[in-house]
């Protein structure tokens, strides 16, 4: 039986995402998967997943004819994340679904094109770096990434975000961001001024922005959203 709490907790542990972002990753993965299913399979998926995730599996648009590569790309675009990260997250989520409801996974696999068979199997444990994470992004890629992250600015060498918070929220935010950076084996720069905290992300070894920096920026956004509202991430 699939339960929302266990699914979120296990997805967070295996993807190294905060629980709030793991919950989002589950919804995104289910929503994109539903696009590739016919109506009966969509109904089966929606009936089987927990209540908090049920609406994600509800779509009425025509079935997508895309490949599994298109599926991973769409998951990555909606998170947003690098293509490699999107694939890792999607397979992690769906392998957990298969673990908790093998019958559902078999039914869905039978309703999907053959190249989707791998999506219900767990990916290899994520290394400290995925291929390409330290490769500099092009200027076009950075512009596209900034378009999906309106709070950030910068160029192909570095990205920055300034956050205005009450002073009592600054220490917990810095604590969470530093924890996130350690988990991702990254470093994050920050400075404190009257305007708030300015975070800077870049990959020093190549003096450029890489996909790993985008992942760190997304973790910072999640921390700001949680701590800024008076809570703590996770």
Dist. CA 206–CA 87, nearest whole Å: 25
Structural fold of domain 4-120: Globin-like (1.10.490)
If one counts every other C-beta atom within 10 angstroms of the C-beta of residue 161, the result is 21
Q: Which residue's structure tokens are 């109904």?
A: 43
pLDDT 10s digits, 93-129: 999 999 999 999 999 999 999 999 999 999 987 654 5
- pLDDT score of 18 more than 80: no
3-state secondary structure (DSSP) of residue 193: strand
Dist. CA 62–CA 79, nearest whole Å: 22
Dist. CA 159–CA 200, nearest whole Å: 6
Burial 33-43 (b: 16+ CB within 10 A, else e): bbbbbeeebbe
Among the listed residues 190, 162, 88, the one whose alpha carbon sits nearest the alpha carbon of residue 130: 88
Phi-psi region of 185 (alpha: psi -120 to 50; beta: other; left: phi over 0): left
H/E element holding 5? helix 4-15
pLDDT value of position 232: 44
For residues 61-81, average pLDDT:
90
- Confidence category of residue 133, pLDDT binned at 50, 70, 90: low
Cα angle, residue 10 at apex, residues 7 and 12 outer, rounded to 5° = 105
CATH number for the segment(s) 139-228: 3.30.1360.20
Token digits of residue 103: 């019958």
User: Phi and psi of 189, rounded to 5°?
Assistant: -90, 145
Q: With a threshold of 0.95, does the pTM exceed it? A: no
Q: Which residue's structure tokens are 């969470």?
A: 176
- pLDDT score of 212 more than 90: no
pLDDT 10s digits, 156-207: 999 999 999 888 888 999 999 998 888 777 889 999 888 789 999 998 878 8
What percentage of residues in the chain have a pLDDT greater than 70? Answer: 92
pLDDT value of position 233: 41
In sign, the C-alpha dihedral spanning 90, 95, 97, 98 is positive
Token digits of residue 7: 């699914």
pLDDT value of position 215: 87
Per the prediction, the chain carries an average pLDDT of: 88
pLDDT value of position 231: 43
User: Phi and psi of 195, rounded to 5°?
Assistant: -80, -15
Contact between residue 14 and residue 6 where contact means Cβ atoms under 8 Å apart: no
pLDDT 10s digits, 19-56: 777 888 999 999 999 999 999 999 999 999 999 899 98
If one counts every other C-beta atom within 10 angstroms of the C-beta of residue 9, the result is 15
> Domain map of the chain by residue range?
4-120, 139-228
């Amino acid at each position: 039986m699939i339960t929302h709490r266990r699914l979120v907790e296990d997805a967070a542990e295996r993807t190294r995402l905060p629980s709030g972002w793991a919950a989002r990753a589950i919804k995104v993965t289910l929503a994109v998967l539903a696009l590739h299913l016919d109506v009966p399979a969509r109904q089966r998926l929606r009936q089987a997943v927990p209540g908090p995730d049920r609406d994600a599996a509800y779509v009425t648009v025509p079935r997508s004819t895309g490949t599994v590569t298109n599926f991973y790309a769409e998951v990555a675009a909606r998170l947003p994340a690098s293509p490699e990260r999107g694939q890792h997250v999607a397979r992690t989520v769906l392998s957990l679904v298969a673990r908790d409801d093998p019958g559902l996974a078999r039914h869905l696999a039978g309703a999907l094109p053959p190249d989707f068979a791998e999506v219900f199997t767990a990916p290899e444990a994520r290394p400290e770096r995925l291929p390409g994470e330290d490769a500099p992004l092009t200027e076009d890629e950075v512009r596209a990434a900034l378009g999906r992250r309106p709070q950030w600015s910068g160029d192909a060498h570095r990205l920055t975000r300034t956050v205005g918070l009450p002073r009592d929220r600054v220490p917990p935010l810095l604590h969470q961001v530093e924890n996130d950076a350690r988990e991702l084996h990254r470093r994050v720069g920050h400075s404190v001024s009257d305007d708030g905290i300015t975070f800077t992300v870049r990959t020093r070894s190549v003096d450029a922005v890489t996909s790993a920096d985008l992942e760190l920026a997304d973790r910072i956004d999640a921390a700001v959203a949680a701590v800024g509202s008076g809570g703590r991430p996770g």
